[in-house]
Amino acid sequence: MKLKVLPPTLRKNNRYLTVDIKTTSPIVKDDLVTIVWDACVRFQGELNSANFNLWVMKFYEMGQTEEYYSYKSIIRCQRPYVDEVRSSLALANMHNNGRIAITTIGLSGTIKASQKYI
């Protein structure tokens, strides 16, 4: 028996944040997942963070300079919680004894549209 697909009116509305990440130590996608969840749980609490429906969709390595490593990523969250996720990511500043800065550079309704910010 084949499962039915939910109609668009019953699906959750997602938004895709394109973020710019600058850090003093190299990271991989798994580290970013940890950073995002840790920041949201620390600043919004477990109960509120459970509603965010967070997911790291794409992760790009942009290169490095003498001071920092640069990355860009696309993060999915639910539409009503975009402001909470953005504020939590902006407040994250340390990971593995290294400094990190996460800045939102774009917000869109599809992954394809969010890739134009990269």
Q: What is the per-residue pLDDT for 80? A: 93
Q: What is the per-residue pLDDT for 20? A: 96
73/66 Cα distance (integer angstroms): 21
Residue 54 near residue 76, CB atoms below 8 Å: yes
Q: What is the per-residue pLDDT for 75? A: 96
Q: For the whole model, what pTM was predicted?
A: 0.88
Q: What is the per-residue pLDDT for 113? A: 94
Q: What is the per-residue pLDDT for 1? A: 79
List, for the chain, all residue ranges whose pLDDT scores fall below the cut of 50.
none
* Domain locations in the chain as residue ranges: 13-117
Q: Domain 13-117 falls in which CATH fold?
A: Alpha-Beta Plaits (3.30.70)
Q: What is the per-residue pLDDT for 8? A: 85
Residue 103 near residue 72, CB atoms below 8 Å: no
